Amino acid sequence: RKCSSLKGDKQTLFTSNETAGNVYRIPALLYERESKTLFAFAEQRKTSDDASGEKLVMRTGKIKEGSSKKTWSELKEVEKALIKGYRPMNPCSVYGKVNNKLFLFFICVEDAITEMYQKENCDNRTRLCFITSEDLGETWSDVIDLTDELSEIKNWSTFAVGPGHGIPAESGRLIIPVYAYTSFCCKPCFLPNSKSYALSLYSGSHGKNWKFGELFNTVSVECEIVEISKDHIYCNARNVGGYQVEAVSDDNGVKFNNLQPGNKLVFFMQHPIRSSSPCTPGEKDEGRRSKSTLLSPNTDTSVLLITSLQSAWPPTSMSASSMGLLSSVMIRTVR
**pLDDT over 80 at 262, yes or no:** no
User: Helices (DSSP H) in 190-332: which residue ranges?
Assistant: none
Between these two residues, 194 and 175, which has the higher pLDDT value?
175
Q: Where are the domains of the chain?
A: 4-334
Residue type, 206: H
**pLDDT over 50 at 300, yes or no:** no
Q: Dump the DSSP string for 191-205.
A: GGG--EEEEEEEESS
User: Helices (DSSP H) in the chain: which residue ranges?
Assistant: 115-121
Kindly report which listed range (79-88, 138-147, 242-251, 278-287) carries the lowest average pLDDT score: 278-287
**pLDDT over 90 at 177, yes or no:** yes
pLDDT single digits (tens) 120-159: 899 999 999 999 999 999 999 999 999 999 999 999 999 9
Question: What percent of the chain is predicted at pLDDT more than 70?
Answer: 72
**Which CATH number does the domain 4-334 belong to among 3.30.200.20, 3.90.1150.10, 3.65.10.10, 2.120.10.10?**
2.120.10.10
- Average of per-residue pLDDT across 42-47: 97
In this prediction, residue 67 carries a pLDDT of 74
Q: What is this structure's pTM?
A: 0.80
Cis peptide before 297 (omega within 30 of 0): no
**64 band by pLDDT with thresholds 50, 70 and 90:** confident
Q: What is the dihedral of CA 67, 69, 71, 72, to 10 degrees?
A: 120
Mean pLDDT of the chain: 80
CA angle 228, 297, 238 (to 5 degrees): 65
**pLDDT over 80 at 308, yes or no:** no
Between these two residues, 38 and 325, which has the higher pLDDT value?
38
Between these two residues, 162 and 320, which has the higher pLDDT value?
162
- Average of per-residue pLDDT across 228-247: 90
The Cα–Cα gap between 132 and 333 comes to 25
**110 band by pLDDT with thresholds 50, 70 and 90:** very high
**171's torsion region: left (phi>0), alpha (psi -120 to 50) or beta?**
alpha
Residue type, 197: Y
CA angle 3, 173, 1 (to 5 degrees): 15
Between these two residues, 297 and 99, which has the higher pLDDT value?
99
**171 band by pLDDT with thresholds 50, 70 and 90:** very high
**275 band by pLDDT with thresholds 50, 70 and 90:** very low
Q: Dump the DSSP string for 67-79.
A: S--EEEPPPEE-T
- CA-only gyration radius of the chain, Å: 19
